[in-house]
Amino acid sequence: MPRSTSHPAPFLSNPRAVEKGWIDYNGHLNMAYYNVLFDRSIDDAFEALGMGFDYAQTRRLTTYTAEVHICYLRELHLGHTVQCNFHILDHDEKRIHVFQEMRHEDGWLAATAESLTLHVDMNGPKVVPFAPDVLAKIEEMHAIHAALPRPERAGRAVGIARKAG
């Protein structure tokens, strides 16, 4: 896979451990906390793109999630550590479309997430174009990620598959 010193393809988040309070009465990670793990991991990528905590505090610009689709593929339990990748599928001047995979430290796929994120002026709040320096970083990462194959699970819809006939 193509690599860049500033933006590996795909971008990898910091590893994160499943926390005790996230385990439900079924003995595994509650579905809501997969989203927490994806969200914290996307924060790592956004920090690398120049739109993290300091960006929100100093420029009053941030991101809001418009849509997310999670596929739960394998249970996670207390004591497991995961890492998420971040693959830019598309973007424009105000939005970024990404796909993430959550992998257990042993390498198996636990879940995927596909999301659309909006760039927001916190003073409105209203959707606005990315700052030029951030857009340049998004374009650079997207160009690197464009060489990756499109994830098999990207673009899935929720529904019940019916057999014909």
The residue with greater pLDDT, 165 or 159, is 159
The residue with greater pLDDT, 4 or 152, is 152
Place of tokens 């590893």: 15
Kindly state the average pLDDT of the residues 124-139. 96
Query: Hey, what amino acid is at 5?
Result: T
Kindly state the average pLDDT of the residues 75-93. 97
| Burial group, residue 78, by CB count within 10 angstroms (0-12, 13-18, 19+) | middle
The residue with greater pLDDT, 159 or 77, is 77
Which helix (H) or strand (E) segment is 10 a member of? none
What percentage of the chain exceeds 90 in pLDDT?
88
* pLDDT of 6 higher than 70: no
Kindly state the average pLDDT of the residues 80-95. 97
